[in-house]
Structure 1
Amino acid sequence: MAVELGYYTLSVRDLDRAAAFYGALFGWEFTREHERYLHVTNTTVPMGFVSDGPSAQPNLYYHVADIDAALERVRALGGATGQVIESKSGRGCAVTDDQGTEISLWQPAPGFG
């Protein structure tokens, strides 16, 4: 099976302001995962907001069935892996390919994708 985009986040400065803005603009509804993260509850493609400051690009997470196996494969192919982050929506990890390009992988929790 080909791996596809499974989750993405938008980096913003203030989560409450982002919820007010994008909620009014798009009708998005939110649940707070923790103090640095909001999950959007009513979109087809799972997404959220992270309070890492504004960014011109979204953070893309590619859907994998088994993140531990995918991380082993990244390392075997000459890439590098970061720390696995656990959340209600699943397990994610930033990885770098063998040329230095960074992407993220995401294994969804049950009910998230």
Structure 2
Amino acid sequence: MSVELGYYTLSVADLDRAAAFYGALFGWEFTREHQRYLHVSNTAVPMGFVCDGPSAQPNLYYHVSDLDAVVEHLHKLGGSAGEVIESKSGRGCACTDDQGTQISLWEPAPGFS
């Protein structure tokens, strides 16, 4: 199984201001997934903005083909996983490895890959 970066989010304080700023800066176009999330619709690597306040680093999601199987394997290796979140772009969850390092996993919905 080859696992690579599949999705990332930038955490911002105000989604509308972020859309105006990054739309003007990079030409990004947006679709609103829900009240706290914008998907950027014209980037090579899928990405979006989440309204959780400013962050110094993006949240990286590793692309997996079967989220449930990877989470099960993660548990067997001593890691833990948070709640699986479902959206139009797919299913994802925050995880912690056996040393406490946080990662995120993403299983894309059809049409997102």
TM-score range, shorter chain: over 0.9
Q: How does 1:1-113 map to 2 (within 5 A)?
A: 1-113=1-113
2:39 partner letter: H
2:24 partner letter: A
**Cα distance in 2 for residues equivalent to 1:26 and 1:39:** 14
CA shift, 1:38, in A, is 0.1
Q: Please give the root-mean-square deviation of Cα atoms over the aligned residues, in Å.
A: 0.4
**Cα distance in 2 for residues equivalent to 1:12 and 1:75:** 31
Gaps of 5+ in 1: none
Query: TM-score, length-normalised on structure 1?
Result: 0.99
**Cα distance in 2 for residues equivalent to 1:45 and 1:24:** 19
The CA deviation string for residues 39-75 of structure 1, in whole angstroms up to 9 with x for no partner, is 0000000000000000000000000000000000110
Query: TM-score, length-normalised on structure 2?
Result: 0.99
Gaps of 5+ in 2: none
Aligned residue pairs: how many? 113
CA shift, 1:105, in A, is 0.1
CA shift, 1:2, in A, is 1.9
| Structure 1 segments (4+ residues) deviating >3 Å | none
- Identical counterparts, % of pairs: 81
